[in-house]
Structure formats: structure tokens, C-alpha cells
Amino acid sequence: MIGQAITKRFLSRSIQRTVSLQHTKCLSTITMKFDKINERNSNNGLIKRTFQKTYYRRLASTISVEAAIPVSKAEMFCRQCEQTKDGVACTTLGICGKTPETAAIQDTLLEVIKSVAIWAVAARKAGATAEDMMPANEWTLRAAFSTLTNVNFSETRIAEYIRQGMVVKRDLVTLVKNKNGALPESSDTASLDLPDSLNPLQLEEFGRTVGILENSKCMGHDDANSLNEIGTYGAKGLSAYACHAMEMGYMDESNIMAPLHEIWAKLASHEPDVDGLLANALRVGQVNAATMALLDRGHCDRFGAPTPTQVRMTAVGNKANILVSGHDMVDLYSLLEQTQDTGVNVYTHGEMLPAHMYPKLKAFKHLVGNYGTAWQAQKFEFATFPGPIVVTTNCIVEPRKKYRGRIYTTNEVGVDGVQHIVGRDFSKVIQQAQQETLGFPRTVEPARFHTVGFNHRVVLPLANQMIEAVQQGHLSRIFLIGGCDGSEWDRSYYTDLAEATPEDSLILTLGCAKNRLIHSPKLAEAKLANGMPRLMDMGQCNDSYSAVVVAIELAKALGCTVNDLPLSLAISHLEQKAAAVFLTLLHLGVRNIRLGPRLPAYVTPNILKYLQENYNLMPTGDVQTDLKLMMAGK
């Protein structure tokens, strides 16, 4: 077993910590005291903060992996994304803007997700049908999606997910009992029951007992804990992708939802089962591959097969406008229907850019173009957009006052004080666009365009041309440069790499990291000797499946493995969807991935060593050195 190999080879020197009963008692005493004081001083922020600091200081002082954290300042502990503070963890306030309170209540929600999953597994074993499982399936996907980076900052909304989750869980318990099914193994998570009467503050306090540090302490094994976190963040991303598919009416009970609940249930355990947790993480990759295939099918069935499409990247003047960001094409379609013949133009932003490649979306003439770049530029770009903005999924950044009154959220996205749309009724947004904004002052001419739509259905018919070009020496290498964008300066690595690639190479890109490439004048019009564009935009991160299909089919056509193709991968990661895609690549056995701009904070040195030895995972480095190695197939 791979896990045993890790254990033997790398974990023998790992410090095995045991959690003393005394320490456990110490923590419960702190928590109980905290609860009591909270009862008496529910509005006293100072006392609350003092206790939080004491709690985290005592907790973190026992955990070697967190030794580098300035615990005197620790009020929260989150390291689920790449932008985490100093590459270690956000401990006072999230770099994303997440407060300690939101972080804590999200930890409670995560515990409820695991509890529901345990009972969902039991319900299926007891013979529950796909119909029986629908409420648990839908709730799991939405709840998990709401905990992704830059999705939901609203404690009220998270508390509501928790309340709904407890209803779902109680129904599953009844279902298992009514069917005389076997009860799940007894555990704190399985028996979790948070009364509806708990307020958000109390739910936060519970979250502080089930966060990462607490789980790490219970696990008592850094590498097992690291694998648990890898699986958790991958499962969040997978749930988000499955949620996108569900929005289009697609759900696969046996190949996606049943294994997803098993994955979440496994993550509830504090057993330091390295083998099992490694297998669980790779299973996330496997189920995510099926999910992305379903999502790809859903998009095509609903909106037509993508075709290369030129998207206007400059303004059209003197019309009321609405900007739509995020990934949810169903929201966009609905808004386009509701704005038809209203005189309002619609622009895409960020991850919504590839919407223009779908025939049924681009058929709306008032979908006039794309405005802006990637999510991290929102504070500037949303402020200067003349019209209301709808954010359908990740990523949202805490809105500035300047546009707070004209930004709306849908689906799992939430920010307290920002208007949330339910049931895809965009009438308020449309009204605001018509009444309050005059639009862009003029149409920018000459217009600038970008071509989207290089889905696998478009690229694969070009496979023979590509193979011929490789064989004739006209195509030296294919680069896949994509993933997430972010605000760190060193993400310029991806622009520099793309611009440094040889003129006889092809670049496939996707995800919002494409914004690091598509505005490069050097690449915009570049073509290969056979007339093919050098830069092919495959779509959102949701379209990562396209890149996987192209690589697998090219390998088949050439009679080799994906790792033998003249293909180099430079992946820019940030949040948990990227973690799911990364696990899919590992599940497929893809090696030689360069991951940056920093490696995830939750990967321990031993697990990293395992990934390096088995998958040749590499951090991004110096562009010229990396490029030289890539051209040599390394």
C-alpha cells in the first residue's frame, strides 16, 4: 500500500504526539468557562477576545506543526487557501476578509456536513433511494460550497445552513431507524445535535472546539492531519463543482453523491489512518473527474456546444448596464432572459468570461462583452463599472462603500448588508440599472477582442494537426498554464512564463489565471506555423475537464501516456476548487506539475516529499530555469 510506504519511509521520524487526558480536560474547562462567561457577557467583546487568545495559545502550544504561529495573536486558524497569511495561516483576520467569528461558525458548519455525511452513508446502506437522499445531497453541496474561500462571509447565512443541516440530519436518523438500518459507529460527530435555539454566537463558540487545531490535536499525527486537510479542501471543491452541475439539473447519486458522502464521513474520523486518508484524498480526485465530466455535459446540453467566439473586451456606450461575475451560467441565462428588450446591456466579469462561447448565451445580443479582469481586481473594477453587479459564485471580495448599494449576491455567496437574490428574480437589479445609471460615456473604438471557446470539442478535432506539427518539428511543446488568479505579485510568474515560451509552442489556458496571459500583446495574435492560434482559452476552472480530455486523447492517439506527451503544466492555485482539480490530476497519475506561487500551507514536509517522489510535484521557481527544464521534458 502506498500509505504504508509513506509511513515506513517518511513517518518513522515523525514525532508521534499523544493527547493527554489532562490536556483534554484543560481544554474542556476553558471551553466551559468560556461558555459561562459568554452567557453572562454575550456582548462583551473584550472578555471574549481574551478567552479566545488564551484558548488558542494553550491549544497551539501543544502542536508542533503550528509552532511558527504567533499564538498570542491567534484568534482564528484558517489555512485553506494559498493566500493564507505568510504562507502559514490566518490567525487574526483572513487575508480574504474572513473574521474570526465567520471562521469559527464555518468550522461548526463543516462539522455538521460531516455529521450529515455519516448518516447519509448509513441511510444508503439501509436502502434509501435517490429520492430519499435528495435533501441531504442538495444541502451538502450548498453548505460545503458556502465555506469556500471568498464565498460567504455572512454569519447569519452560515447559521441558517447549520439549522437546515440539523433538520436534514435528524430526518436521516429517522429514515435509518425506520428502515431498521445499522446505526453508524458512535462518535461525537455522528451524535452531533445543535438545537435550533442556538444563536450565531453560540454556534461560533462550538466552532472553536472543532477547528483545525482541535482536529490536529485529536489526530495527534501531523501527516495524517495534513492528508485530512488535503481531502477536506478537495471535498469542498468537489462539492462546489457538483453544486454547479446540480444548478443545471444534473446529479449523479451513485457515482458522485454516494462516494462524496463517504469521503466526508471518512474526514470526520480522528484516526491517524495515513493509508486510508491518502486513499480518501485520491478518491476526491476520482469523483471530481466524474463531476467535471457531468458539469461539462450539463453546460453543453443546456447552452449548446462551445465554439470559438470573439468577445468584446471594451465598452459599449450610452446604455444601462449590468455586470455578472462568478461561474453560474444558469443565473446569467436567467438574467439575459429577464433583460431582453429592456434596453439594458449585460457584461461578464472574471470567471464568467467563457459564457460567451455557448451558443444559447451568445444568442442574446445584449450580452455585449466582458468588463475587467479577475476577481481580485473587484475593488477597483466594480467601483468604476457604471451599473449594478451580480456575483453568482466565488470569488467575492468585501465590497467597498462606493458600490455596496449596487452589488447583489446569489446562490451560496453572502456578505452581510449586501442584497441577496433568491429564486433568480433579477427585477430589482434591472430596475436599478434602468433608473440609476447612464452607462459608459462612449463606445470604445477600435474595440479589443479576446477569443474564448477552445473546449475539448473544438481542440480534439485539431489533434491530427497538432500531432503532425509535433512530428514535423513545427510544434515544440504544449504548455498548460492556468488555474486561479490572486493578488500576489509573484503570480506574474505565469505571465512571464507564457511570454517566454518559444514561438513554436502552444499554450492552453483556463481558470481566472488566464488573465495573466490573455492581455499580453505578445500572445494575443500569435499563431503557429500551421495557422493555429498559439494561445487557446479553454474556459473557466469549471472547464478543467477539457484540458484533461485533450491530454488523455492526445496520449491515446500517440500511443503513449499523458506523462510522455510534450506537455508541461504550470498551475496557479488559490482555493479549494483548485485543490479538487489537483487531486484529479494526481488520481490520473499526471506527473511533473509545477504548482505555485506557493505550495499549500497544509502540506507537511513528509507529504510533500511523497508527492515529489511519486508525482514529481514541483514548486514554481525561476521562469528561465523552469522553462529550460520544461523544454527538456522535466
**Which residues make up the interface to ligand SF4 (CB under 6 A)?**
78-81, 83-84, 90, 94-96, 98, 149
Task: Kindly state the smallest distance separating residue 549's Cβ from ligand SF4, in Å.
Answer: 30
Q: Which is nearer to ligand SF4, 81 or 590 (CB)?
A: 81
* Neighbouring-strand partners of residue 147: none
The CA distance from 88 to 93, in Å, is 13
Q: Which residues pair with 593 in a beta bridge?
A: 569
CA atoms within 13 A on the CB side of 268: 28
Retrieve residue 53's grid coordinates: 487568545
Cβ at position 594, least distance to ligand SF4 in Å: 22
Structural element, H or E, at residue 596: strand 593-596
Which residues have CB under 8 Å from 506's CB, separation 6+?
Answer: 466, 475, 477, 478, 479, 528, 532, 534, 536
CB nearer ligand SF4, residue 75 or residue 537: 75
Q: Which is nearer to ligand SF4, 11 or 397 (CB)?
A: 397
> Rounded to an integer, what distance in angstroms lies between the CA atom of residue 620 and that of residue 625?
10
Q: How far is the CB of 261 from ligand SF4 (least distance, A)?
A: 24
- 185 vs 464: CA distance, rounded Å: 55
Pick 78 or 353: Cβ nearer ligand SF4: 78
For the CB of residue 563, give the shortest distance to ligand SF4 in the complex, in Å. 31
* Residue 203: HSE in the Cβ half-sphere, 13 Å Cα cutoff: 29
Min dist. Cβ of residue 148 to ligand SF4 (A): 8
Whether the Cβ atoms of residue 210 and residue 267 lie closer than 8 Å to each other: no
CB of 99 to ligand SF4, least distance (A): 9
Nearest CB to ligand SF4, comparing residues 415 and 469: 415
Q: For residue 365, what are the contacts with CB-CB under 8 A and spacing of at least 6? A: none
Shortest spacing between CB 82 and ligand SF4, in angstroms: 8
Closer by beta carbon to ligand SF4, 95 or else 524: 95
Inter-residue contact 507 to 535 (CB < 8 Å): yes
Q: Cα separation of 242 and 184, whole Å?
A: 25
Tell me the C-alpha distance between 121 and 142, whole Å.
18
Q: By three-state DSSP, how is residue 78 classified?
A: strand
HSE (side-chain half, CA atoms, 13 Å) at 482? 30
Report yes or no: 366 and 384 within 8 Å, Cβ to Cβ. Answer: no
Q: Which is nearer to ligand SF4, 7 or 376 (CB)?
A: 376
H or E segment and range at residue 449: strand 449-452
Which residue's CB is nearer to ligand SF4, number 95 or number 631? 95
Cβ closest to ligand SF4, residue 82 vs residue 537: 82
For ligand SF4, the closer CB: 379 or 628: 379
Min. distance of Cβ 236 from ligand SF4 in angstroms? 10
- Which three-class secondary structure state does DSSP give residue 621? coil
Element (H, E) at 450: strand 449-452
Backbone angles phi, psi at 577, to 5 degrees: -65, -40
Residue number, nearest CB to ligand SF4: 94
Residue among 90 and 248 whose Cβ is closer to ligand SF4: 90
Tell me if 165 sits within 8 A of 143, measured CB to CB: yes
- Say how far apart CA 75 and CA 112 lie, in whole Å: 22
Q: Which is nearer to ligand SF4, 6 or 397 (CB)?
A: 397
**Nearest of 166, 293, 300 to residue 242 by alpha carbon:** 293
Of 229, 97, 115, 111, the C-alpha closest to 151 is 97
Length of the chain: 634
Q: How far is CA 401 from CA 94, 97, 174, 349, in A?
A: 20, 15, 47, 20
CB of 396 to ligand SF4, least distance (A): 12
**Of residues 396 and 562, the one with the C-beta less far from ligand SF4:** 396
Q: Tell me which DSSP letter residue 148 carries.
A: S
Least CB distance to ligand SF4 at residue 146 (A):
12
Q: How far is the CB of 149 from ligand SF4 (least distance, A)?
A: 4
- Other CB atoms within 10 Å distance of the CB of residue 178: 9
In the bound state with ligand SF4, the residue whose beta carbon lies nearer, of 212 and 368, is 212
Nearest distance from residue 392's CB to ligand SF4, in Å?
Answer: 19
Nearer to ligand SF4, 237 or 298 (CB): 237
Look up residue 565 and give its DSSP letter.
S
**Contact assessment for residue 321 and residue 345, using Cβ atoms and an 8 Å cutoff:** yes
Sequence-ordered strand ranges (E) for 326-384 = 344-348, 367-370
- What letters, b where the CB count within 10 A reaches 16 and e where it falls short, cover 450-466? bbbbbbbebbbebbeeb
